[in-house]
Amino acid sequence: MEEVVYPHPSKLLNERYGRGYAAGFLLGYREVLLEYIDEFGMTLSEHERREIDASNDITILRAWVKRVVRFAVENHAHSD
């Protein structure tokens, strides 16, 4: 079994580091997702935009990515 190496000697610091990393990852994911929504011209309701902006659930955010990709593909196909 491979030994796990943590960036901090303290278990508490490692837990906080992990939560901070996850929070930063989700923040970046949400920002990029909203940028693509705007770039592709997808219209969101205020409720939908707030849902994405407040989500800390990667499953929900991935579902949104799939919706945006479907929207982009369908609209690109119709613009040719």
Stated pTM of the model: 0.71
> What is the mean pLDDT of the segment spanning 31-54?
94
pLDDT digits (tens, 9 = 90+) for 1-31: 566 555 556 776 667 777 888 888 889 999 9
pLDDT at res. 20? 81
pLDDT at res. 13? 65
**Distance between start and end Cα atoms, the chain:** 54
* DSSP alpha helix (H) spans, 1-80: 11-39, 46-54, 58-79
Q: How many CB atoms lie within 10 A of CB 27?
A: 12
Could you state, in order of their start, the residue ranges of all structural domains in the chain? 11-79
